Amino acid sequence: MKNIRLGEVLTDAGIISQQQLEKALAYQKEHRDLRIGQALMALGYVTQRQVLQALARRLELEMVDLAQQTAEGAALELVPQALAAKYCVLPLRRRGSVLTVATDDPLNYYAIEDLRQLTGLELDIVLAEPEPLNKAIQYYYADLGAQRAARSAGDSAAPAAPAEQVSVNVTGDGGDAPVIQLLNSLLQRAMTAGASDIHIEPFEESTNVRMRIDGVIVDYLELQRALHQPLVARVKILSGLDIAEHRLPQDGHFRAHMEQGGDVNLRVSIMPTVYGEKAVLRLLAGSAVIDHADQFGMNDEVYRRFLPLLDRPNGIVYLTGPTGSGKTTTLYLVLEALRRRAVNIVTIEDPVERNIAHVNQTQVNPAAGLTFERGLRALLRQDPDIIMVGETRDAETAGISVRAAITGHMVYSTLHTNDAASSIVRLIDMGVEPYMAANSVAGLVAQRLLRKVCPRCGQEEPVTRAEAAYLGPEIRTVRRGRGCPHCHGTGYRGRVAIHELITVDKTLRRMIVEGATSEAMAEYARKAQGMRSLRESALDLVRQGVTTPEEMLKVTCGE
């Protein structure tokens, strides 16, 4: 392989011309840190995939889809993570004296020779594209780290003792070090897997660790029962909770820095159960993972209708939906856009899930007397242009928000309602006078998250007779995932948001004052504003093969 020149491989394959190669060589002389393949890609002459395909043909190597491959733990153990990341290689499996390794650069013979010397094995090289390869390296080594940490902690664990007899080293020194490493590894694994929650659940014989990925709980790890109390105690220490209290629920939060993924805020809930305390750690990631993030997760039509609301000088915009529907994520995307303007933005949240530059964020602290109502009253004296209230939970918060909107502020908040129109009814039920609601509310956005069919294992299938009854005659086939390593066997990978948007105009204000039903307001919005219901938006995604009928029914049942 030392004698193979990438430029010649590409010209022989007809992918580039001799003139393009000469230009790339000249470009490489000016940028000596680039290899010839990188120079060709920088000039736009080739793509990474074209390079790999040409090398695969010349070297008679196999190109693999890493989503369809599984890296075995025994192979990963042979190559340190630092070396795998340095050379961008992923050990996949060992068969006898042969180690199969995925790489994006088969001509890096220094890397290949280092691996051969390190492992003492013959190497079977396969090719993979760099982006999925880098993600796979992070994913599998995070998994390996958690497994190692669990074994190490298990080896050093003392037999399980009653809760009141457990002694924890607060500094994290000595015997608790393996538990610290275990928790760190679990957090890193959750980040690389895109999990939103980690569940640490005690049972009679063991402790189960599960993770919520794309809204669904997935089994991950089973720990020795003796590890449970030290692990929960470590979580409590980081969260500033009382490690001696085992009988009452506790809530807290802490911030962690991950090797891959940067900083992450974690919200912690501790709940006593029959076999001990269950801990749930919610990862409040530093960046939103959502389709169409540049449009706040909205499709083109909803985004076009939503934009004028951002230019309102005053009023309230409510984002509505159940817990876990992405309301706060959407609010943060909106604040990211608004912070670029010459405005003073203040928030009152519980908790602050993500820090945003140039936005003044306040964390609710009921123990210190800082409630939503008290904090919101104080914010009004901070000369705000835009106020974000994390959640409108009660009549007092709703009343203060309404008065703030009427007196010249723009307010963004969330409500727990099933659809956009019923938010008005909810406000009135909270005690807000209809005329106040009519004059303060500017827009209502209902939101849900649908799981997307895995792009790797999704297949077209004919609809069943039962599905045809509610999908309609125009949908003959639907797309479903079969389950693969890429989607953890669920058939789904990632989520997409759907919305219904109502803007409050003169007619709607009159309807609110007159006590119109939510159904009547929704019907008016459909006819006069072109509002599409959540169910209609979900049906479009089923038609496009983005999601499944099961997801549509789960998210929009009752609509």
pLDDT tens for 491-517 read 888 889 999 999 999 999 999 999 999
User: Percent of the chain at pLDDT above 70?
Assistant: 92
- Res 172: pLDDT: 40
Distance CA 475, CA 142 (A): 42
- Res 337: pLDDT: 93
Q: Does the structure show a pLDDT above 90 at 45?
A: no
Summarize the confidence of residues 123-148 as an average pLDDT: 85
Q: Is 270 exposed, middle or buried (0-12, 13-18, 19+ CB in 10 A)?
A: buried
Helix, strand, or coil (residue 230): helix
User: Percent of the chain at pLDDT above 90?
Assistant: 47
Q: What is the pLDDT of residues 88-130, one digit of tens each?
A: 999 999 999 999 999 988 888 888 889 999 999 999 999 998 8
Of 445, 428, 424, the closest CA to residue 533 belongs to: 445
Give the list of residues 6+ apart from residue 84 with CB closer than 8 angstroms, or none: 90, 91, 137, 141
Of 15, 58, 19, 21, the closest CA to residue 39 belongs to: 21
- Res 290: pLDDT: 67
Summarize the confidence of residues 195-211 as an average pLDDT: 93
Q: Does the structure show a pLDDT above 60 at 559?
A: no
Q: Does the structure show a pLDDT above 90 at 555?
A: no
- Res 504: pLDDT: 96
Longest dimension (CA), the chain: 84
Q: What is the pLDDT of residues 284-293, one digit of tens each?
A: 754 445 677 7
Out of 3-12, 176-185, 395-404, 452-461, pick the least confident. Answer: 3-12
- Res 67: pLDDT: 75
- Res 153: pLDDT: 67
Summarize the confidence of residues 125-144 as an average pLDDT: 86
Q: Does the structure show a pLDDT above 50 at 173?
A: no
- Report CA dihedral (233, 239, 243, 246) to the nearest 10 degrees: -90
Backbone angles phi, psi at 493, to 5 degrees: -150, 115
Q: Are 371 and 364 in contact (CB under 8 A)?
A: yes
Q: What is the pLDDT of residues 411-441, one digit of tens each?
A: 999 999 889 999 999 999 999 999 999 999 9
- R_g (Cα) of the chain, nearest Å: 28
- Res 3: pLDDT: 60
Residue 35 or 331, more confident: 331
Q: What is the pLDDT of residues 243-282, one digit of tens each?
A: 999 999 998 888 887 766 667 888 899 999 999 999 999 9
Residue whose token pair is 């209902």: 446
- Res 2: pLDDT: 52
- Res 360: pLDDT: 95
Summarize the confidence of residues 443-472 as an average pLDDT: 90
